[in-house]
Amino acid sequence: MIRLFVYGTLLSGEDNHYLIQRADFLCPTHTAPAFSLVDLGDYPAMVAGGGTSIAGELYHVDLQTLARLDLFEEVPELYRRVQINIAGSDTAAYVLPQTHAGSAPIIPSGSWRKRA
């Protein structure tokens, strides 16, 4: 099992949650203030190097689910699956390279649900 942090359309109640709904939900959480959350229209992207704490949820996912999510998130062409530290533990998360973020607007709250 892999710990995975999600922050956008994979969140419970969001459009793509069905991809992760069988995974074990652990808790709502947030990252350290080391990222930016950008609005790409239909979905957000977490970008390293900002000063915002990103709100999300933590799951335990099996390798089959992780492989399916990697395809969905277009790893490594669009997103990168990287290890970040959440609550003292290594956790996988999908991060968009800064070069792909372009001039997308930043979501100051760090929360996809509070973007409006």
Antiparallel, parallel or unpaired: β 44-48 and 80-86: unpaired
Q: What is the largest CA-CA distance in the chain?
A: 36
What's the CA gap between 6 and 29, in Å, rounded?
10
Q: Which of 57, 73, 74, 77 is catalytic?
A: 73
- Torsion 19-115-30-81 (CA) sign: positive
What's the CA gap between 10 and 16, in Å, rounded?
5
What's the CA gap between 52 and 33, in Å, rounded?
4
Is residue 73 part of the annotated active site? The answer reads yes
* Active site residues per annotation: 73
